[in-house]
Structure 1
Amino acid sequence: MRIGWSAAVVVLVAAAGCGSVATTAPQPVSTTPMAVSPQRIEKIRADIDALVRSGSPGAIATVTEHGQTVTLTAGVGDRGSGAPIPMAPPQQVRVGSISKTFAAALLMQLVSEGKLRLDEPVDTYLPGLLTGDGVDGRAITVRQILQHRSGLPELSDDPEVDVVRAVAAGRTFTPAQEIAIALRKPAQFAPGEKFKYTNTNFIVAGMLVEKVTGRAYSEELNGRILTPTQLPDTYLPGPGEVDFRGPHPHGYATVDGTLTDVTRSEPSVAWSAGGMIASGNDLNRFFLALLAGKIVPDAQLREMLATQPAWPNNPMKYGLGIGSTDLPCGAQFYGHEGEIAGYITLSGATHDGRAVTLTLNASLDNQPDWTNILSDALCP
């Protein structure tokens, strides 16, 4: 499993090269006069074609600018039939750790309402949950959870926690079970000592939402973000809901040396850390609304977007459940990447009203040059 900006996953499927597949030329979809320049569309078209040539069965790019959204697709959505990825209706995909930005936004709403304090120990809200070898919930703050600076052990390092094997076994997980699994291992470091991307943090984040509100995480997600922001193709599947509710490309990963269809996935494994399903249209709308202050109040949004260096020799910075990077044109991109069995998605926006979501329906040996692709999609 890969951990870092390109991780976002609670899955233990080793993703190797996917080989060559037949491709179809990407085509734009638009119902309004062109606001996205033809030159930008051609650059993105070339980028996703290259991603398919590099090994992904298919790719989707959804670009929004000045209220107009254009969708491009390349490659196939089903290797068995060779059917291309449809350009419409919007295709749902598993978005992995992009789910973390939604979880962070929920917690920041609760902070704005005075129901939660960022610098309060987790133990204040979830007493006795975080105890173990070097782990003490009285010393870990909510802020450190959202910043990946808690030092908690990595849940998804345990072979018991696997979204694909869980489907085969008909097994679901509760958040408390997952925390107990994670705490079999010692702390990675003392709280606040450094940054380490850790999925366990955002299982705790989901539990904090439920504890503070007294409602199910999915109910708070729907009521506070999905319905008000009008995201019809976005949802967190319930335990045991292993299939998609809407149109979607199949997802692929290499399992035991064979490229395997892993579209069916157990969502209770990743849960608030990475279990969501969404479309590119919805993700663009979400990140634009977030940056515009329509989801999280301004004071809390500033805290959320106060990103700082995270990985050595990596331009990406990390804030509270969201990352940022400076693009060559001077624009600043805020967003998140998610990788989970069968899907890689990168999504985010800039303050000047541009947004992009890119999805591959397989994991790759080599990470794409995301900065170059983001520049093509978001720079004037």
Structure 2
Amino acid sequence: MKTQSPSAITQTRVSRRVAVTALAAALLAGAAVAAPGVAAADSSVAVPQATAGQDRPELQKATQAFVDAGFAGVQVRVHDEQGEWVGSAGVRKLGQSAKPPTNGSFWAGSIVKTFTATMALQLVAEGKIGLDAPVAGYLPEFGLDRRITVRMLLQHTSGLFNYTGDFDPDGKYVPGIPAAGKEWLDNRFRSYRPEELVRLALSKPARFEPGTDQIYTNTNYTLALLLVEKVTGRSYAEELQRRILRPLKMRGTTVAGIRTQLPGPHAHGYYRYEEDGQEKVVDISRQNLSLLAGAGDLISTTQDLARFASALNGGKLLPAKLLGEMRKPHPKMGYGLGLFVQDLGPGCGTVYQHNGSPPHGYGAFMYSSPDGRKTLTASVTWVDEATRGPAKDYKKLVDKLVQEVFCGGQAGAAVEAKPAR
């Protein structure tokens, strides 16, 4: 798709409509699905602060490809045996020429699940909770099925309804809290309490018997947040600071809570909709992510995510046994305990990753080698729309970047996301 100027945004018509709820659910789940929007005018790559490994034309090309495909902006950070490479492409804000900051803040979405799982497993290591103990024993106020264990929350095998909307076993969509379309747009500053989200989910029938299936569900991680708070006697944000952010000097990362403004330099995401026959584009860089407490409400930077991924996979945050549990994939979707385990094929090996996005306008991804010495972290912005737009390009672009970093750009490298056995 050719790059369009910002002035062309309001003239662009959406010619193809797809199911809103299915794609919205996939994106909220942190899957590698996004909507390429209207591309920005200035899409050249910025490669600042020359360090070892900065002259990496293959990474510049893979970064630029996002903007060429229609995304507004992208920032990428790679750390490997050649050193650290950072770059950005596109624009920070539509109608302006400034490029996205290479270490700007962004809504990191479901990547927070890896942080939540790490804290829960730290509590397991300290003997404060049991990985296979009933969650109801720690949170009796919710009347949870006693078969649901801590492991099932972190592994998405609890069977609980997803409070942002879900599908019945027969395929019928059951609405939850609006997380897509104009209804979400009009309510994007509303605040929610974690208990409110959980009780809404528990008001709906379970999707399957605990432990018998695996379906990605935000409710699991909001419950895990409440578990951390109950056991420690401190807020989730305080525990995150104490256990991870402060020790790793992650100064650009915070729990969003009811905060609606990204701090410091940041790229802007957008939402496009039609009203009275007119297309309108809204800057949604401000939004309230309390909607996804513990499951998608993280603010971070590429540098901080790289530091976290490296420390986690390098064994600095969890004992080896529990890190092994975290990286043990369920056969259905290759998800362990807060991490996707992805086999890249011969010559490339395995990576541990988690992608994420708030409801609209932003996407982020975090990849690491098993030893934490090689990392890829990035954030993208785009002009979103009610139908989410075509999803095909995003996964292909991420796969290409992953191939360049972890497979040395090998032709035909198997970067298709498949579970590692």
Structure-1-length-normalised TM-score: 0.88
Which residues in structure 2 correspond to 1:230-379 (within 5 Å)?
230-239=249-258, 241-256=259-274, 258-311=280-333, 317-328=334-345, 329-340=347-358, 341-352=360-371, 353-362=373-382, 365-366=390-391, 367-369=394-396, 370-379=398-407
* Pairing 1:196–2:215 present: yes
What does 1:115-264 correspond to in 2, within 5 Å?
115-129=128-142, 131=143, 136-157=144-165, 158-162=175-179, 165=184, 168=187, 170-239=189-258, 241-256=259-274, 258-264=280-286
Cα distance between partner residues in 2 of 1:82 and 1:19: 15
How far, CA to CA, are the matches of 2:77 and 2:36 in structure 1? 24
Q: CA separation in 2, counterparts of 1:318 and 1:112?
A: 21
Larger Rg, first or second structure (1 or 2): 2
What's the C-alpha RMSD, in Å, of the aligned pairs?
2.5
- Give, as a single letter, the amino acid of the residue that structure 1 aligns with 2:395: P
Q: Deviations over 1:186-216 (max 9, x none)?
A: 1111111111011111000100100110100
The 8 Å contact of residues 9 and 96 in structure 1, kept in 2 or not, is answered as: yes
Number of residues of Structure 1 aligned to a counterpart in Structure 2 = 360
- Tell me, yes or no, if the aligned pair for 1:161 and 1:269 is still in contact at 8 Å: no
Deviations along 1:171-193, one digit per CA (max 9) or x if unpaired, are 31111111112223211111111
Pair 1:17–1:373, CA change in 2 (3 A) = closer
Partner Cα separation in structure 2 for residue 91 and residue 67 of structure 1: 23
Query: How big is each residue's C-alpha offset from its partner over 1:65-96, in whole Å with a ceiling of 9 and x where there is no partner?
Result: 24932211110110133432133xx2111000
Deviation by residue 1:237-265 (Cα, 9 ceiling, x = unmatched): 232x1001221101123344644321111
Equivalent in 51, 57, 69 of residue 84 of structure 2: 69
Q: Distance in 2 between matches of 1:31 and 1:46?
A: 17
After the TM superposition, which segments of 4 or more aligned residues of structure 1 sit over 6 Å from their partners?
Answer: none
Residue 298 of structure 1 deviates from its aligned partner by 1.3
CA 1:298–1:116: 2 relative to 1, 3 Å: same
Partners of 1:250 and 1:183 in 2: CA distance? 35
> What corresponds to 1:314 in structure 2?
none
Task: Give the unaligned 5+ runs of structure 1.
Answer: 312-316
**Which deviations, in whole Å up to 9, do the C-alpha atoms of 1:208-241 show, x marking residues without a partner?**
10011010000000000001011111111232x1
Distance 1:245 1:218 in 2: 16
Hey, what does 2:11 align to over in structure 1? none
Alpha-carbon offset, residue 15 of structure 1: 6.8
TM-score, normalising length from structure 2? 0.79
Residue 297 of structure 1: CA displacement?
1.6
Deviations 1:316-374 (A, max 9, x none): x1100111212243321101000212111111210351100122112562132233321
Q: Which amino acid aligns with 2:223?
A: V
Contact 2:111–2:354 (8 Å) recurs in 1:
yes
Structure 2: where are the runs of 5+ without partners? 1-20, 166-174, 409-421
User: Displacement, 1:170?
Assistant: 4.8
* 3-state SS of 1:107 partner: helix
- 230-239 or 95-104, which deviates more: 230-239
Pair 309,128 (structure 1): closer, same or farther in 2 beyond 3 Å:
same
